[in-house]
Amino acid sequence: MEQTRDNYEPKAKTTSIKFASRASVKVGDSYYTVECCEERCLPDSGYNIELEREALWDVVNSECDKQIEQIIDTFRTR
């Protein structure tokens, strides 16, 4: 039987997750883009991949938010 996408069962396992978040903000006449990327290695067992993804997504998005706040605060005082 020929293997197709519909009848194939993947054998690979997730060993790490990597997320990147990027955001841009306009302050005055200038645009600033910030980005955060983080990769995490996963143990062989004992984790929930969906919750690990959510946690990592929260971290990278939060870091971009902090960077934008710093940019706005820096240029607001000028």
Tens of pLDDT, residue by residue over 45-78, are: 999 999 999 999 999 999 999 999 999 999 876 6
User: What total of structural domains would you count in the chain?
Assistant: 1
Whether residue 47 lies inside any domain: the answer is yes
Distances (CA, A) of 66 to 2, 10, 17, 72: 51, 38, 22, 10
Whether residue 10 lies inside any domain: the answer is no
Whether residue 6 lies inside any domain: the answer is no
Residue 78, pLDDT score: 63
Rounded distance between C-alpha atoms, residue 10 and residue 3, angstroms: 11
pTM of the model: 0.78
Mean model confidence pLDDT for the chain:
93
Q: Which residues pair with residue 26 across a beta bridge?
A: 31
